[in-house]
Structure 1
Amino acid sequence: MSDDTVAPDVTTGRGPRVSRLGVVAVVASFGGLLFGYDTGVINGALDPLGRDLGLTPGTEGVVVSLLVVGAAFGALLGGRVSDRHGRRRALLVLAVVFIVGTLGCVVSPTWEVLAASRFVLGLAVGGASATVPVYLAEVAPAERRGGLVTRNEVMIVSGQFAAFVVNAAIFTVWGDVEGIWRAMLLVAVLPAIALLLGMLRMPESPRWLLAQGRDDEALGVLRTIRPPDRAATELEEVRRFAAEDATRSAAPVDLSARWVRRLIAVGAGLGVFQQFTGINSVMYYGTQLLGDVGFSANASIVANTLNGLFSVLGITVGILLINRIDRRVMLLAGFTLTTTFHLLIGLSAALLPPGPGQAWAVLVFVVAFVFCMQGTLGPLTWLILSEIFPLSIRSVAIGISVFVLWIANAIVALVFPPLIEAIGIAPTFFVFVVLGLAALVFAHRYVPETRGRSLEELERRFRAAAT
């Protein structure tokens, strides 16, 4: 679709349909808020959890990582449910799972029940991570897709920041109260209810409706979030692409196509390298990391809120830049910056004498790393995943990529604490430096540019490149 077909109220960000599109994005992004809170809340809850449920280092790792393992399988299942039953219905189901999993965690009498409940919660987290970006990408016009899809990442980091602040406030005032961690976890039920009630009033993805042959319903949805002429033009473009696809091949797009497998490899690689920056070592164990470099327990949990704050600031800057800078340029810059700060963290831990100077240096460089990560690689990974796959398998392909992402996340969650204990902070972050250099090579060689193109145009381009 050429730029001259874009209606003013879409490009200028004004008008009732743009407002409606904004509401759709906000409601769907509650899934991202839950993603962030449920992954971040464990950071400050581990100490009271350990006291109340008698956690050992081994069982602590199980409790933390089972949510991540659940998320890996949730991404696969969520993608299939989304493709079969629709993006909206999938999000409604996920909202119910969020509520059930959260309440299960809150009332857990033992660590085993807590771990099982966190696995259930992880299914919802993973399903949301695979479904929300697809839904947002498919309702967004091409020229606003970057900003709308990255709202999900804003909500993820906002959820993590909220978790850190809630933990710090509750721990500071009621840290000695038995079972206080239950209050920390219970807060997550509020956005889960908001997601459930909100999605009852939201439309289905127009592109999913078209894929099901429900053209009139798709046009009806588009008319609520596009100007009338733009809605008709966009519908016709998707129809025309579907007709071309049918002419080109009688078989639907499937995972056996070589070009699709290549795209999935790119998506999975992006997910792996995003997680191997170690961002979630900070989000899960930031309080413990700061304690290891010399901060007291209370100072650590308060200082850890800076990671949440700078996550939000980073993603805010990222949103301002993401539609103005090519995806590849921003991706390469992100890996360069995160690798540089890994090196500085490692050098600070290795060369500075133990004490306040070392502690504050590590804190500053960790916060800078979080800011750069969330301003570039965080939103870009989810955005590119939502853009590169063909419609007919988009949710399944994203589910596979996000499954790999979550497995990489689980590896980081399981390996980081024993690695710190075995070899120390400096060598651990030097490992992240090596992984960052590998990520730069991967991004430069394999990640395609997707900025400013419709989803249908991208699919045509990827098909053509494979022939």
Structure 2
Amino acid sequence: MNCEKQPLLNGELKSMKKLVLFSCVGGNCGKLNQFLCSLLICIPTFSYGNSIGWMSPMTLLLQSQESPRETPLTDLEISWMASLPYIACVPGTYLMAFIGDKFGRKNACLFMSAVGTIIWILKLCSLNFWVFVVARTLVGITMAGSCVTCPTYIREISEDSIRGALGCWPSLFTAIGSLFAYIIGDLLSYNANLWIFTCIPALHFVVFLMMPESPSYLVRNGEMEKATNNLSWLRRHKTTDATIKQELDVIMKEQKKDEENKQLMLKNIVSDKILFKAFQISLMAALSRELCGAVPVLNFAGDIFNLASKEGTGLVISPNQQAMMLGVVQLCGTMLASSVVEKSGRKNLLLVTTLISGVSMCLIASWFLIRDYNIHSSAWVPVITLCLCIFCDAAGLMPLSVVITGEIFSYKYRGSVLATTMAIASVADFFQLLFFKPLANSVGVYAAFYFFGLMCLLTSLYVIVVVPETKNRPLEDIYDDLRPAKGRVNIEQRHVI
């Protein structure tokens, strides 16, 4: 049978056809398969969200007298379980980048689901603390894949017009996964939770075998026929369509330019002024999320809510309900991000969210400072600013740090840069969790929040002055904006960097 006439009946693409028997409607007919593939790519991030959300209700259970263990876990043991994924994520980012570059984005995604399944099986098999340690360490790998593999994979299978919206999906599904864990953790038994969480990555592994590999990876490995077939399925066009050839030409030009430069990636990034500036932007975007205050805010949310209830507001919320509330706020933020990122642009959304985060952090810092002087102030101020911080983190800072990096680097650098920035961000997270409370107790919590507010406001200034808009723009246009004004060229002279 002729491959060009029947691309969907070739090899693994036969299975894909079974998943798209339903009809498409509206103007997104040609994008249906991209939505389907992106949805399945994000299931491992949903499972990762389950792992993060699991800690909230299960910590209360495992430290209570009703614990399924013979002896409840101590505060120190819980602290290690909470922080271990952030340390494991550092080598995990490079592991996932290596697997994605060497064996393909699809296999890296399958590896994430395999690890995700093992995490829950370990917890099902034993209640020993050291088994928990191993399982929580493995969460660092799924965390790394959620920030490196999944966004890169989505970027490489989606077309420009929906690339930003789909790029926000990993953050959206992480938030949904966390909220799902909060809810069923409050409703179901310990073992029922584990069985549900085990089935999700296990079923995903089986279904995802039918999905296509990234065309960029296939082109890099010289599998042009398969790349053409995969791209035609993703775009719902015939393999002979001119748009398919144009996209493949762009991918080949990008990778040809990468192959011409034989320097080591790190050395090349440091020595090339444009690449180094792009790396600085990526690192700034990653660190802005960690320095906005979201991580310590999430860890100390219970204290703030408890304080608010003591001030006579009538706001009495259980720890699980607090987690659910923050989960809903996160979900609303990520939904907003995926719906407006293509309309507002990356730069504008990042600017607005950093500004609001900066103002909210300064407000909550001022509230703590005023309280230290025994001046009465509304107990709703920390609650509102807390929600604003989490909302802005989910709506802009968290997803855009990945989207922007995916758009300002070519295939050769994309995975490694995401891995490096994620590793640095993970170290920042670990130290914040380790030292925030002691420093806040010795210096004053208001000083910490003023620091976060200042970092957000400085990031806003950096976005205005340095960060280019990447929405619907080819790589050569973005890099031309990063050149000094005197070094820029006319559009007719531009070439792929």
Same fold (TM over 0.5): yes
Q: Does 1:31 align with 2:49?
A: no
Per mean C-alpha deviation after superposition, the further-off stretch among 354-363 and 221-230 is: 354-363
Structure 2 counterpart of 1:310, from 318, 324, 329:
329
Shift of 1:166: 2.6
Q: Deviations over 1:232-266 (max 9, x none)?
A: 221122224444555xx352672211233443333
SS state of the match for residue 168, structure 2?
helix
Structure 1 counterpart of 2:232, from 204, 207, 223:
223
Structure 2 match to 1:362 = 382
Structure 1 counterpart of 2:293, from 278, 285, 309:
278
> When the two structures are superposed, what TM-score results if normalisation uses the length of structure 1?
0.86
Gaps of 5+ in 1: 1-8, 171-179
Q: CA RMSD of the aligned region, Å? A: 3.1
Structure 2 counterpart of 1:213, from 201, 217, 222:
222
Q: 1:420 to 1:63 in 2, by over 3 A?
A: farther
For the 8 Å contact 2:117–2:198, the answer to whether it is kept is: yes
For the 8 Å contact 1:78–1:131, the answer to whether it is kept is: yes
SS state of the match for residue 188, structure 1?
helix
Matches within 5 A, 1:56-455: 56-170=74-188, 181=190, 183-226=192-235, 227-228=237-238, 229=241, 230-243=243-256, 249=260, 251=262, 254-257=265-268, 258-259=271-272, 260-291=275-306, 293-294=308-309, 299-351=318-370, 359-423=379-443, 425-455=445-475
Paired AA for residue 18 in structure 1: K
Paired AA for residue 151 in structure 2: P
Structure 2 match to 1:177 = none
Aligned-partner Cα distance in 2 for 1:355–1:162:
40
Structure 1 match to 2:19 = none
Aligned-partner Cα distance in 1 for 2:59–2:384:
24
Per mean C-alpha deviation after superposition, the further-off stretch among 268-277 and 213-222 is: 268-277
Paired AA for residue 62 in structure 2: L
Shift of 1:24: 0.1
For the 8 Å contact 1:35–1:125, the answer to whether it is kept is: yes
Shift of 1:102: 2.2
Aligned-partner Cα distance in 1 for 2:106–2:480:
27
Shift of 1:429: 2.1
For the 8 Å contact 1:76–1:127, the answer to whether it is kept is: no
Aligned-partner Cα distance in 2 for 1:321–1:98:
31
Q: Deviations over 1:348-407 (max 9, x none)?
A: 334359999854432222112222221121221121122122212321221111111222
Structure 2 match to 1:173 = none
Structure 2 match to 1:175 = none
Paired AA for residue 120 in structure 2: T
Shift of 1:142: 1.0
For the 8 Å contact 1:310–1:367, the answer to whether it is kept is: yes
For the 8 Å contact 2:258–2:412, the answer to whether it is kept is: no
Aligned-partner Cα distance in 2 for 1:79–1:63:
25
Shift of 1:274: 0.7
Aligned-partner Cα distance in 2 for 1:135–1:205:
6
Count of residue correspondences: 447
Shift of 1:333: 1.3
Gaps of 5+ in 2: 1-22, 489-496
Per mean C-alpha deviation after superposition, the further-off stretch among 205-214 and 296-305 is: 296-305
Aligned-partner Cα distance in 2 for 1:341–1:64:
26
Per mean C-alpha deviation after superposition, the further-off stretch among 420-429 and 135-144 is: 420-429
SS state of the match for residue 41, structure 1?
helix
Q: 1:46 to 1:312 in 2, by over 3 A?
A: same
Aligned-partner Cα distance in 2 for 1:149–1:218:
21
Per mean C-alpha deviation after superposition, the further-off stretch among 384-393 and 263-272 is: 263-272
Aligned-partner Cα distance in 1 for 2:24–2:258:
28
For the 8 Å contact 2:468–2:481, the answer to whether it is kept is: no
Shift of 1:106: 4.1
Percentage of identical aligned residues: 19
Structure 1 match to 2:9 = none
Shift of 1:82: 0.3
Q: Deviations over 1:74-121 (max 9, x none)?
A: 111101110010000011111111111222234443333312220012
Structure 2 match to 1:4 = none
Aligned-partner Cα distance in 2 for 1:106–1:379:
32
For the 8 Å contact 2:44–2:116, the answer to whether it is kept is: no
For the 8 Å contact 2:147–2:418, the answer to whether it is kept is: no
Shift of 1:427: 3.5
**Which entry has the higher C-alpha Rg, 1 or 2?**
2
